[in-house]
Amino acid sequence: MILIAVISLGVIGAIGALLLYAASKKFEVYEDPRIAQVQEALPGANCGGCGYPGCSGFAGACVKADTLDGLLCPVGGAPTMAKVASILGKEAASAEPMVAVVRCNGTCSVRPRNNQYDGSQSCAIASTLYGGETGCSFGCLGYGDCVNVCTFDAIHINIETGLPEVDEEKCTSCGACVKACPKNIIELRKKGPKSRRIYVSCVNKDKGAVARKACTNACIGCGKCEKECPFEAITVTNNLAYIDYTKCRLCRKCVAVCPTGAIHELNFPPRKEAATDTKTGADKPTPAPKTEKTPVTKEVAAPQEKVKEKTN
Amino acid sequence: MLRTFRIGGIHPPENKLSAGKKITTLAAPKQVIIPLGQHIGAPAVAVVKKGDTVKVGTLLAKAGGFVSANIHSSVSGKVNKIDNALDASGYRRPAIYIDVEGDDWEESIDRNETLVKDCKLSSKEIVDKIAAAGVVGLGGATFPTQVKLTPPPGNKAEIVIINAVECEPYLTSDHSLMMEKGEQILVGVTLLMKAVNVSKAIIGIENNKPDAIAHLQKLAANFNGIEIMPLKVQYPQGGEKQLIDAVIRRQVKSGALPISAGAVVQNVGTAYAVYEAVQKNKPLFERVVTVTGKGVANPSNLLVRIGTPIQELINAAGGIPENTGKIIGGGPMMGKALISAEVPVTKGSSGVLIMNKEESVRKPMRDCIRCAKCVSVCPMGLNPTLLMNSTEFTNWELAEKNYITDCIECGSCSYTCPANRPLLDYIRLGKGKVMGIIRARKS
């Protein structure tokens, strides 16, 4: 009896194995082995910053593409792309490293609250309900939707200022925070040589007087920077200045003329006394020398300093 | 047995503090701020400029599209400026500022109080007149009335339903209007019936207003085809789809317009505005607003010019009481907290509710206990907790599949939740996202 059972099961098993073997040969799907190799080289964060659904999607796109132009893993950056290029025998596209920039400097002390929000602590929900707790309906709400979506622990709310700060060492410019911000405050900008960059830290499109009343750090659209810029990098539209980072040559002239301090410079060495405009000298102190020692500092180093000295 | 809608619904405390109060006319303020976007649809386009002299009823802005409405001056005086003004939600939107000088009305407006019953105009002429007068739905949704009276091809109206339920707690503006302007409202209803070529109209009134029901029933005897239907008190009976279900027992399919069920629903305030527009040539520039709240010294129903700062209304009702937590524009269920008392009254302002600190504070949110109370009260038959979760986890396909776009934002789910979950806040966010996705897919 036992023998019959063993034999019959064995035969059934053998037939099944043959069928499976035949099927696997007949319906074999060829997958480019390079996709797996490329995926191996990628960070595996599946952040979607490249615009593809996860790392495997991006690997597939890299293998399929004729050139690597326009394909960039923002997390791994140039070294990862070089690795990918060597696997595929293609030329790696050179890409400027980018970083997330929070374009609001309406700290608690300069942007007074005129109402209190007690709803869900989510920027997306608050913005469907109303303009926010301050007179500026464009500025940061401060409930941290950007913090919640960041997979790299690179953005945090500073309790003192109420604004998010980007840790540029950790930021991979995946753009998740840019998408999460309902106010479109966060922008990916060129990291710049030695992390030096200049940007307008405000998105308020109200008229100057209204903006200024709501927040003393707001861009009032006066256009001084636009006139001052020798490279035509600054445009003022809808009462708001914007610096095109592809044209900006980091001369810092706009920073000196900005009457509200809405234009921020980061990680620059201190200016010489002569270079500082005497008119704005009181309002706009020279950045502290600590930026020189540590070229990579946290995003907010400059604004925080300004606030402190203004309130003194 | 009184009728009501058949799915869900709640019955919050009514608190109709200003019921039975006569409508008092509030004098025009020194300056009015008239927003260009007071209705659903495209904002109106200004036709006056700075320095122009305007009279009461002068056209200020023309409809900026098919779904849009004209806007008229509520005062006489000079256009001070056209600039962005703070709206109720704290965003700045274009508005016309007018400095008031005297009270000089356009000559075409018939200011005589006598009732004009006869109307020889054709249905198209009635609709055109309503459009010219800038009449919008005065229940709060502010949908341009002429659009509702022009059914899309292939649809035929069978009945006009007048929404006089006023299901929001506290509000009494429609109630007071029915008591004082009953005949005018009924003429307005006949005009609406004529505009859509139907011979039957039903006015639905919740039976917490027995005086209004009796009053209108007596008057309706002189009008052909108008029936008054008392309804059981149930929130949100004033919702268009809920009212159709309550009154004629028909349900509107998901995503379809009420006209597909053969019904044209108009608010009782709108019926009065239609009467004034057609019979008296008076554009919509004033409305009845309830100012109420437990701490308010003198809760009242005020006839207010559009553009008057809310602060003036509150002053007329006895000022802002101490311990005020929130000032709500509208009723307690669907109204929104105002960012400032300086924002103007618009066509959609049905009430101003002042809540004290204890009432207005949100209770801390706790975990969902799966009691399904929100499911049983949802008047649209949705699953609010599922919709909230799918929004929280950005699962838009799941939200769409579960009809998130059918939500009427009545807030019954948030009201009833024993764990104080902000269901509506999330659903509103998700609804917006899903509607955006659907729009993108269509284009």
Ligand-binding site membership of A219 (annotated): no
| Placement of tokens 């305030």 in the chain | B269
Average pLDDT of the segment spanning A97-120: 90
Q: For A168-217, what is each residue's pLDDT tens digit?
A: 888 888 889 999 999 999 999 988 888 899 999 999 999 999 999 999 99
A238 touching chain B per CB within 8 A: no
* Residue of chain A whose alpha carbon sits nearest to that of B423: A120
Domain A34-88 has CATH 1.10.15: yes
Of residues B90, B422, B432, nearest to A119 (C-beta)? B422
Dihedral over Cα of B272, B273, B274, B277: its sign? positive
**Helix or strand or coil: residue A191?**
coil
On whether both B291 and B275 belong to a single domain, the answer is: no
Return the percent helix, strand and coil in chain A, to nearest 5: 35, 10, 50
Choose the closest CB to A119 out of B84, B91, B362. B362
B181-215 pLDDT, tens digit each: 999 999 999 999 999 999 999 999 999 999 999 99
* B261, pLDDT greater than 50: yes
In terms of CA atoms, which chain B residue is nearest residue A126? B425
Q: Which of residues 137-156 of A touch B (CB under 8 A)?
A: 137
Contact between residue B218 and residue B226 where contact means Cβ atoms under 8 Å apart: no
Beta carbons of B189 and B201 less than 8 angstroms apart: yes
- What is the SS3 string spanning chain B? CCECCCCCCECCCCCCCCCCCCEEECCCCCEEEEECCCCCCCCCEECCCCCCEECECCEEEECCCCCCCCEECCCCEEEEEEEEEECCCCCEEEEEEEEECCCCECCCCCCCCCCCCCCCCCHHHHHHHHHHCCCECCCCCCCEHHHHCCCCCCCCCCEEEEECCCCCCCCCHHHHHHHHCHHHHHHHHHHHHHHCCCCCEEEEEECCCHHHHHHHHHHHCCCCCEEEEEECCCECCCCHHHHHHHHHCCCCCCCCCHHHHCEEEEEHHHHHHHHHHHHCCCCCCEEEEEEECCCCCCCEEEEEECCCEHHHHHHHCCCCCCCEEEEEECCCCCCEECCCCCCECCCCCCEEEEEEHHHHCCCCCCCCCCCCHHHHHCCCCCCHHHHHHHHHCCCHHHHHHCCHHHCCCCCHHHHHCCCCCCHHHHHHHHHHHHHHHHHHHHC
B144-150 long-range contacts, CB within 8 A, separation 24+: B144/B39, B144/B40, B144/B41, B144/B63, B144/B67, B144/B68, B144/B69, B145/B266, B145/B270, B145/B273, B145/B274, B146/B69, B147/B41, B147/B66, B147/B67, B148/B264, B148/B265, B148/B266, B149/B192, B149/B195, B149/B196, B149/B264
pLDDT digits (tens, 9 = 90+) for A61-92: 888 888 777 788 888 877 888 888 888 888 77
* Banded model confidence at residue A273, pLDDT cuts 50, 70, 90: low
Bridge partners, residue A201, by sequence: none
d(CA B40, CA B61): 15
More reliable by pLDDT, B102 or A299? B102
Q: How far is residue B322's CA from residue B341's CA, in Å, rounded to a whole number?
A: 15
Q: Quote the tokens at residue B183.
A: 């005949």
- Residue A61 Cα to chain centre, angstroms: 23
For residue B104, give both structure tokens: 């000089």
Per-residue pLDDT at A280: 43
Do B176 and B203 belong together in one domain? yes
Residues B265, B304 within the same domain: no
Closest CA to B98 of B246, B279, B355, B306: B306
The CATH number for B45's domain is: 2.40.50
Is A56 a residue whose pLDDT tops 60? yes
Mean of pLDDT values over B83-88: 90
Question: Among residues B330, B327, B286, B299, which one has the least CA distance to residue B25?
Answer: B286
Answer whether residue A292 shows pLDDT above 70: no
Among B248, B279, B310, residue at a domain's last position: B279
User: From the CA of A130, how many Å to the nearest CA of chain B?
Assistant: 4
- Other C-beta atoms closer than 10 Å to the C-beta of B236 total 26
What does the pLDDT read at residue A62?
86
User: Domain limits at B299?
Assistant: 286-360
Q: Does a structural domain hold residue B367?
A: no
| Boundary-marking domain end, from B246, B279, B312 | B279
Domain annotation covers residue B349: yes
pLDDT beyond 90 at B310: yes
CA distance B365 to chain A (A): 9
Asked whether the predicted pLDDT for residue A310 surpasses 90, the reply is no
Q: Are residues B134 and B272 in the same domain?
A: yes
Chain-chain contact of B336 with A130 (C-beta, under 8 angstroms)? yes
Q: Binding-site residues of B, please?
A: 368, 371, 374, 378, 407, 410, 413, 417
Phi, psi of A63 (to 5 degrees): -65, -40
Chain B positions in Cβ-Cβ contact with residue A124 (cut-off 8 Å):
429
Same domain? B162 vs B190: yes
d(CA B327, CA B336): 8
**What value does the mean pLDDT take over residues A276-283?**
44
A69: helix, strand or coil:
coil
Which residue among B326, B360, B394 closes a domain?
B360
The mean pLDDT value for B274-280 works out to: 95
Q: Which pair of tokens denotes residue A184?
A: 């479109």
CA B267 to chain centre: 8
Residue A146: is its pLDDT beyond 60? yes
What distance in Å separates residue B343's CA from the closest CA in chain A?
13
Task: Tell me if chain B has a CB within 8 Å of the CB of A125.
Answer: yes
Q: By C-alpha distance, which of A250, A265, A258, A199 is closest to A227?
A: A258
Q: Considering the domain boundaries, does residue B77 fall inside one?
A: yes
ipTM of the modeled complex: 0.86
pLDDT at B23 over 50: yes
CA B399 to chain centre: 28
Closest residue on chain B to A134 (Cα):
B90
Q: Is A120 on the interface with B (CB under 8 A)?
A: yes
Q: Are B139 and B251 within one domain?
A: yes
What pLDDT is attached to residue B276? 95
Instruction: Please check whether residues B255 and B349 belong to one and the same domain.
Output: no
Q: What is the pLDDT of residue A93?
A: 66
The model's pLDDT over B155-171, given as tens digits with 9 standing for 90+, comes to: 899 999 999 999 999 99
Residues of A whose CB is below 8 A from B365: 120
User: What is the reported pLDDT for A284?
Assistant: 43
Whether B416 has a pLDDT exceeding 60, the answer reads yes
Asked if A206 is an interface residue toward chain B (Cβ–Cβ < 8 A), one would say yes
Whether A174 has a binding-site annotation, put simply, is yes
Residue B96 lies in a domain: yes
Spell out which residues of chain A touch residue B425, defining contact as CB-CB under 8 Å: 119-120, 125, 128-129
- CB nearest to B91's CB, from A120, A124, A137: A137
Q: What is the DSSP letter of A76?
A: T
Q: Say yes or no: A118 contacts chain B, CB-CB below 8 A.
A: yes
Please report the pLDDT score of residue A306 as a whole number: 38
pTM comes to 0.83
* Secondary structure of residue A61 in the 3-state scheme: helix
* Count of domains for chain B: 4
Does B227 map to a domain? yes
Do B294 and B163 share a structural domain? Answer: no
User: For chain B, how many residues are written?
Assistant: 443
Q: In degrees rounded to 5, what are phi and psi of residue B23?
A: -75, 125
The fraction of chain B above a pLDDT of 70, given in percent, is: 100
| Exposure class string for B161-190: b at 16+ Cβ within 10 A, else e | bbbbbbbbbbbbbbbbbbbbbbbbbbbbbb
pLDDT 10s digits, B213-241? 999 999 999 999 999 999 999 999 999 99
- Tracing tokens 């405009």 back to the chain, one arrives at A277
Domain boundaries, chain A: 34-88, 98-311
A130 close to B (CB below 8 A): yes
Rounded to the nearest angstrom, the minimum Cα separation between B338 and chain A is: 9
| pLDDT of res. B397 | 95
- The answer to whether residue B105 is domain-embedded is no
Do residues B392 and B419 make contact, with C-beta atoms less than 8 angstroms apart? no
What is the end-to-end Cα distance of chain B in Å, rounded? 48
Task: Look over chain B and give the mean of its residue pLDDT values, rounded to a whole number.
Answer: 94
Q: Could you tell me how many CB contacts below 8 A there are between chain A and chain B?
A: 46
Whether B249 and B396 map to the same domain: the answer is no
- Would you say residue B255 has pLDDT above 60? yes
The answer on B330 and B241 residing in a single domain is no
pLDDT tens by residue, B360-384? 888 899 999 999 999 999 999 999 9
Please judge whether B90 and A120 are an interchain contact, meaning their C-beta atoms are less than 8 angstroms apart: no
pLDDT at residue B140, rounded to an integer: 82
Residues A158-177 have pLDDT tens digits of: 999 999 999 988 888 888 99
A86 touches chain B (CB under 8 A): no
Asked whether residue B389 is domain-assigned, the answer is: yes
The reply to whether residue B91 touches residue A130, judged by beta carbons under 8 angstroms, is yes
Query: In sequence order, what are the residues at sequence separation of 6 or more whose Cβ sits closer than 8 angstroms to the Cβ of residue B66?
Result: B41, B147
| CB < 8 Å & 24+ apart, contacts of B435-439 | B435/B405, B437/B396, B437/B400, B438/B400, B438/B405
